[in-house]
Amino acid sequence: MTMKFPSVATNRKLIASTEINKKIANMTSVLKGYWAADRWDIRICPHPSAIELSKNPSLRNRWVNFDKVENVWLKTELKYFYYLHLNNGAWNAKSVWIRKGTVISRMMGFLNLKYPNITSITEVPIKKALTEYRTYLTEQKVKTTTTNYKLDVNQQKVTVHANSYYVTHLKQFMEFYEDFYFDGEEWEKDVWNRRKLSLPEDKVNPTSYEYTINFKGFKNNYFKEIVKRYCKLMLNTASFSHVVDIASKLKEFFNFMNKNCEGIQRIHQLTRNEIEQYFNYINLKGLKPSTVTGRISTLDVFFTTIQRYDWKDTPSKILIFQEDYPKVPKALPRYIDEHILEQLNGKLDKLEPYIATMVMVLQECGMRISELCTLKKGSVITDKEGAELLFTHLSLRAGRSSTIITSNLSFAKWEEVFHDPILTAALTDRLTHKSHVVNMIGPSYRMRETQKWLENSHS
């Protein structure tokens, strides 16, 4: 059993109190009509998700009550906190009325008791407030922790204790305004939001829900700042999700150093001895060779990069060698058994047409879901000019990358579409050259050949 609570922000670089007061005044100008009320009735809420939820006959919580908030400044901040998250799509009505709105009373009772005269929630240090709030809830006989379960590296279920929803809600509220009133650039924060970084499209996977890089939890502030500088540099060349992974792995390494090698306060102090201690640590965790390789590679590239760019604090000698990397078994293709595919394909007519098409494309092309979801979609213009454009497109992409084309017409009927027999013949010839033509209602050639290859490789 482990006890693990999320770390809290410690960066208190906020705008002046007069500017905070101006922002709160602006919040009041935004909270008009329905949103200005101290009690939000879901039956008359204009938000689409609230209109839908209000139709549920089993809904018990009709109101979100702000009327018990005695401090007018906190009331405005709290209402705006709810308003913004509901209307920017971060939350929906179920989150507000069924979960978050039910814990306001305890939270505001605590703030009314402990901090009745503050003019902003940011006047209270987060760590101090959370400690006091846990004590307050315990005295009220309210649980401050909840029990969750997760799988460890050996796929065994382990118990994890985390903050209860009461504590989590206060933490979210306070951290939101730490960020909202922050005086500085996004790079200076301990949590980077990719929506505020203006990254180019090729750095972001639009199908990913991950939109933050979290630098909280570093035990040594110096190493945290080094990693933040490095991650900012890596965002010039690497994808956002890759940099998220880099930050996580480097945090693990430097926290290990902080705990087990107390004399190491700078990177140039690292020796081969500390590196070997860390390698022993990750090897004893029961991780897959590919996972261990990822950790070693991240550290290796980090050291190499900061040395190449001549940073002030770098390793004094080479610390990682090729022999440190474990041998990774050659990955074999994974496939779905034919009888399972037959069952799936037999139910395609039950799916929405676009979902059925996606399933077939996945089967025949072996794409990742993210690759499929980001494919550009468009219809070919059905005239001679459209045929010429398609021919040019296929010629340019030949030998470079794939193009998926679906048609409900056989090649014999394409001349009726493009109205030019010579151009149509050239087009179909270019299209079928070194291509994989699949009849969508037939068996999967790719799956059959992969299965045959696997059977031969094991014989």
Separation of alpha carbons 284 and 62, rounded Å: 52
Other beta carbons within 10 Å of 68:
12
92-106, 208-222, 233-247, 345-359: least confident range: 345-359
| Among candidate residues 350, 354, 298, the one with its CA nearest the CA of residue 325 | 298
Joined tokens for residue 326: 């474990």
The pLDDT tens digits for 231-258 are 999 999 888 999 999 999 999 999 999 9
Q: Which residues contact 433 (CB under 8 A, 6 or more apart)?
A: 398
When pLDDT is averaged across residues 431-452 and rounded to a whole number, the result is 62
Q: Which tokens is 368 given? A: 């990742």
Per-residue confidence (pLDDT) for residue 424, from 0 to 100: 77
Residue whose C-alpha is closest to residue 139's, from 109, 160, 103: 109
Do residues 393 and 403 touch, judged by C-beta distance below 8 A?
yes
Strands, DSSP E only, in 231-329?
A: none
Q: What is the pLDDT of residue 120?
A: 93
Calpha distance 38→155 (Å, rounded): 48
The dihedrals phi and psi of 148, each to the nearest 5 degrees, come to -120, 170
The model's pLDDT over 49-65, given as tens digits with 9 standing for 90+, comes to 999 999 998 888 899 99
Q: 266-283 pLDDT, tens per residue?
A: 999 999 999 999 999 999
Cα dihedral 185, 188, 191, 194 sign:
positive
Percentage, residues of the chain above pLDDT 70: 82
For residue 3, the surrounding DSSP H or E stretch is: strand 2-3
353: confidence class by pLDDT, cuts 50, 70, 90: confident
CA distance 183 to 177: 11
Select the highest-mean-pLDDT range: 14-18, 130-134, 373-377: 130-134
Task: Count other Cβ atoms within 10 Å, centred on residue 261.
Answer: 16
- Token couple for 377: 């979609």
pLDDT for position 379: 55
Is the per-residue pLDDT at 153 higher than 50? yes
- Angle between helix 272-283 and helix 289-308 axes, rounded to 10 deg: 150
pLDDT at 455: 67
For position 137, what pLDDT does the model report? Answer: 96
Say which residue the tokens 């500390």 belong to.
274
- Domains assigned to the chain: 2-184 (no CATH), 188-324 (1.10.150.130), 338-458 (no CATH)
pLDDT of residue 234: 94
Residue, of 343 and 311, whose pLDDT is higher: 311
Listing DSSP states for 289-312 in one string gives HHHHHHHHHHHHHHHHHHHHTT-S
The single-letter DSSP state of residue 323 is G
DSSP-assigned letter for residue 408 = S
CA separation for the pair 4, 163 (Å, rounded): 8
* Strand 2-3, strand 157-163: pairing: parallel
Average pLDDT, integer, range 80-84: 96
The predicted pLDDT at position 9 comes to 43
367-408, pLDDT tens digit by residue? Answer: 777 777 776 655 555 566 766 777 676 666 665 566 777 776
